[in-house]
Structure 1
Amino acid sequence: MGFFLKLFCFCFLIIIFHVFVIATPVFSHSNNNNNERSSSSISSKFLDLAKSPEVFDWMVKIRRKIHEYPELVYEEYKTSEVIRAELDKLGISYKHPVAETGVIGYIGTGNAPFVALRADIDGLPIQEMVEWEHKSKVDGKMHACGHDAHTAMLLGAAKILKHHEYHIKGTVVLVFQPAEEGGAGAKRVLKEGVLDKVSAIFGLHVAHVLPVGHVASKAGPLMAGSGSFHASIHGKGGHAAMPQFAIDPVLAASSIVLNLQHLVSREADPLDPQVVTVANFHGDGAFNVIPDSVTIGGTFRAFSRQSLTRLKDRIQQVITGQAAVYQCTAEVDFHEDQRPLYPATINDDKLHEHFVDVAKNVVGNMNVHEMQPVTVSEDFSFYQEALPGYFFMLGMQSLGAEPLATLHSPHFTVNEDALPYGAALHASLATNYLLKHDYGTAKVGGKYHDEL
């Protein structure tokens, strides 16, 4: 889930492991018996179809094809071609280009209600270290976050939904989104107006520590909002043996790093989780030379827009203020022209009830878990600022197998046994949402369908 281009730290792995392994089953009961029976019937049928060789083998083939040729943010031209070719074969109409390389597909009546399903399609600037037949053929680029699997699963859902289009009482919008990894592709998709009629959107992410056939999520804040910063601290270089003739930017930068930690430990509400991390510190020069300048960079995270904005303002003040204390100057860049502040991923309460109701029919009641919030970020959050949205984690760890490598690792692999579950969940969430929000009898292909 992820957008930031760095490996997760060991401590974060421990937190994620704790979140998923001790997660507790969620139980939910529908108030509408007819809808519940329809939901159960649809979900069971969709999972069986997704596991059939016709659909499963097809998804695996697509996933591996995309994996071999990963593309970075707003460069997903070949990936987009693969998606469009498959939609053409399925007879699914679409818009392209959207947000440079994105594809928006449509299944159903073409009329309201509209519900969207989203998959991200970009890779990462990481050299793949996994030796297998379908290893990345592009040096320095890899699908290390499962976006190839996300794309294959949404296409799998599209195949199932198109085959059952007469069941769809409304329109399913397929969002193949570019530039999740730091490019805020979701924001650009929204700006182009292609989701203006959509009343809800669903998205998922593979989880390497959650078992295959299990899902996890929660209502409310799920993932943190985030921003990044880069600062240059300027002093006056000199010989390390005569510091009195220099203005030391290393000392100023060191003080800045320490004082930034106080923003969370001394200023943030302990009940409002926040993070400020300085992840790099660089100064040119030999061991006996005080450099002219030092650069630092890092990230900040919070679960509300207010807290995120406060952290940004205070980071600016601390860096420039501490630099001045040491007779240095500083410039701070938050890169908002390239990467705007990501809002927190906040799941809609009613969509959470819908997710639990549908998911228990797809994967079983005991395999639907509630998870604790995590401080990674996801640009799906931009959709959730504009319309009700729901994001969840899909397990892919086989019981008894070697643990899978973490996201954004050069050793990351996808357990393809998870693909049918993602496809079936996508198809079931959309179909059942439209069943519950049908504005009247749907007309498909000139015929009216009142019931499944």
Structure 2
Amino acid sequence: MLTDEKWEDLYRFRHKLHKHPELPMQEFETTARIEERLKTLGLEIITPTSMRTGVVAALGPKEAPVIVLRADIDALPIQEKTALSYSSVTQGIMHACGHDFHTVSLLAAAERIKEMEGSLNVRVLFVFQPAEETHQGAELVLRSHILEDAQFIIGFHNDPTMSVGTLSIEGGARNAAVDQFKVRLHGKGGHAAHPDKNVDPVLGMANIISSLQSIVARNINPQHAAVLSVTHVEAGSTWNVIPDDSWFEGTIRTFSTADQTLARERFEQIVKLQGEAFGLSSEIDWISGPPVLWNDVDLVKQVQDSLRKKLNIVESAPSAGGEDFAFYSQSIPALFAEVGSGISTGLHHSDLKVDDEGLKTAAAWYVETLQILSKKLCA
């Protein structure tokens, strides 16, 4: 068990990370700090050379079955407004998603598992993953082949809508598949007083955006969760000129491959055909993000009862937010939890605060689940 002094030291370390956040693929200082702490614990650093940031460490017999514990380490381009004594000192960058909380939870778990090293019958890989926010990090780790022998992978995300000390672990789809789009519309600009002589990309864009909402309302099964949000529109430069072009961008979130495929098909049809109806040509940039994050249903059933004896398990709904842990869940049996970080504003807010006490539940999630799965592998 970790002493109160060790927990206080871990809290101070989180505050240091929080004070010095770094953007995706730029987490050099964060990486160095994590690596130094792991070396002090006596863990073996096995970070692939293909990873410029992030850390992978190992503990346990080299020939034993492999279980992976994963946390993410990057921050967001948001100006912090928390007024905490350890607020970010880096202009315009903040741990507004609580990845500092995730990092230190895994470090705490590493300390506890190090104490258990003599009884380990599995090899544990500790993955401190970069670039979750840009959905690059998980694929980078997978391409390195460092996880090829993994039997299970365990992760979590903090949830500031859940009280400290609570944890949710449920089977099936937990986070949505994320698709991003950008649409460019091309017309023919001219004087606003003579719209009949022009091809108006603003009117066309407005109608297309409205029609796109029919995908969720009239194409996706009403019993299936889905969302389409247009979040950014641009056109024109002044009040009396119809512009040549307009563009908009946004995202679609779905919870099944079938719905994801259908949504894209209908999106492309609406943009092309409705654009043509207004005399516009169109271009679509489609950027696929993480797939659906899938919790192995059988695994969840196997761990829930044991976890309830030691942790405060509660229910939570799936999230339409994206999480690149989903890439792991496609090829490795996965368990991903939500851990209460204290009632606060939502993720990605400039005033997000997480409660240090929640680290204890998050670390226990890693350690307890590791022990349950270790017994399963070596039964």
| TM-score band w.r.t. shorter chain | over 0.9
Aligned equivalent of 1:176: 128
1:352 counterpart = 2:303: no
Q: In structure 2, do the counterparts of structure 1 residues 98 and 390 end up closer, same or farther at CA, with 3 Å as the change threshold?
A: farther
CA distance in 2, matches of 1:159, 1:217: 23
Aligned equivalent of 1:137: 89
Amino acid at match of 1:158: A
What is the RMSD computed on CA atoms of the aligned residues? 1.5
Aligned equivalent of 1:92: 43
Count of matched residue pairs: 378
Aligned equivalent of 1:387: 332
CA distance in 2, matches of 1:252, 1:375: 29
> Taking structure 2 as the reference length, what is the TM-score of the superposition?
0.96
The 8 Å contact of residues 73 and 183 in structure 1, kept in 2 or not, is answered as no
Using the TM superposition, give the Cα deviation of residue 98 of structure 1 relative to its aligned residue in structure 2, in angstroms. Answer: 5.0
1:288 counterpart = 2:240: yes
Residue-by-residue CA offset, 1:264-305 (whole Å, 9 max, x unaligned): 111111222222111111113212221111110110011112
Task: Within 5 Å, give how 1:143-292 maps onto structure 2.
Answer: 143-292=95-244
Runs of 4+ in 1 over 3 A off after TM superposition: none
Amino acid at match of 1:122: D
1:71 counterpart = 2:28: no
Using the TM superposition, give the Cα deviation of residue 94 of structure 1 relative to its aligned residue in structure 2, in angstroms. Answer: 1.6
Residue-by-residue CA offset, 1:212-267 (whole Å, 9 max, x unaligned): 11111311111211110011111111121211121100011011101111111111
CA distance in 2, matches of 1:430, 1:341: 29
CA distance in 1, matches of 2:13, 2:314: 29
The 8 Å contact of residues 98 and 104 in structure 1, kept in 2 or not, is answered as no
1:374 counterpart = 2:374: no
Residue-by-residue CA offset, 1:83-114 (whole Å, 9 max, x unaligned): 10001101100222453312111111122211
The 8 Å contact of residues 212 and 417 in structure 1, kept in 2 or not, is answered as yes
CA distance in 2, matches of 1:305, 1:368: 29
CA distance in 1, matches of 2:196, 2:279: 12
Amino acid at match of 2:13: I
For the residue of structure 2 that corresponds to 1:413, the secondary structure is coil
Amino acid at match of 1:349: V
Aligned equivalent of 2:356: 416
**Equivalent pairs: percent with the same residue?**
34
Residue-by-residue CA offset, 1:6-26 (whole Å, 9 max, x unaligned): xxxxxxxxxxxxxxxxxxxxx
Residue-by-residue CA offset, 1:39-67 (whole Å, 9 max, x unaligned): xxxxxxxxxx24x2233112212211111
Aligned equivalent of 1:437: 377
Aligned equivalent of 1:45: none
- Could you list the runs of 5+ residues in structure 2 that have no partner in the other structure? none
Amino acid at match of 2:321: V
For the residue of structure 2 that corresponds to 1:131, the secondary structure is coil
For the residue of structure 2 that corresponds to 1:211, the secondary structure is coil
Residue-by-residue CA offset, 1:377-405 (whole Å, 9 max, x unaligned): 211110000111011111122xxxxx411
Aligned equivalent of 2:262: 310
CA distance in 2, matches of 1:332, 1:306: 21
Task: Within 5 Å, give how 1:108-147 maps onto structure 2.
Answer: 108-147=60-99
Using the TM superposition, give the Cα deviation of residue 435 of structure 1 relative to its aligned residue in structure 2, in angstroms. Answer: 2.1
* Higher RCO (C-alpha 8 Å, min separation 6): 1
Using the TM superposition, give the Cα deviation of residue 424 of structure 1 relative to its aligned residue in structure 2, in angstroms. Answer: 1.8
For the residue of structure 2 that corresponds to 1:85, the secondary structure is helix
* Deviates most, 422-431 or 307-316: 307-316
For the residue of structure 2 that corresponds to 1:317, the secondary structure is helix
CA distance in 1, matches of 2:374, 2:94: 36
Residue-by-residue CA offset, 1:394-439 (whole Å, 9 max, x unaligned): 1122xxxxx4111100001111111111112211211231122117
CA distance in 1, matches of 2:195, 2:77: 40
For the residue of structure 2 that corresponds to 1:416, the secondary structure is coil
CA distance in 1, matches of 2:58, 2:309: 25
Amino acid at match of 1:275: V
The 8 Å contact of residues 320 and 330 in structure 1, kept in 2 or not, is answered as yes
Residue-by-residue CA offset, 1:67-90 (whole Å, 9 max, x unaligned): 111111111111110110001101
Residue-by-residue CA offset, 1:352-394 (whole Å, 9 max, x unaligned): 124313422332xxx2123222222211110000111011111
Residue-by-residue CA offset, 1:184-212 (whole Å, 9 max, x unaligned): 31112111111111111111111111111
Aligned equivalent of 2:7: 56
CA distance in 2, matches of 1:328, 1:266: 25
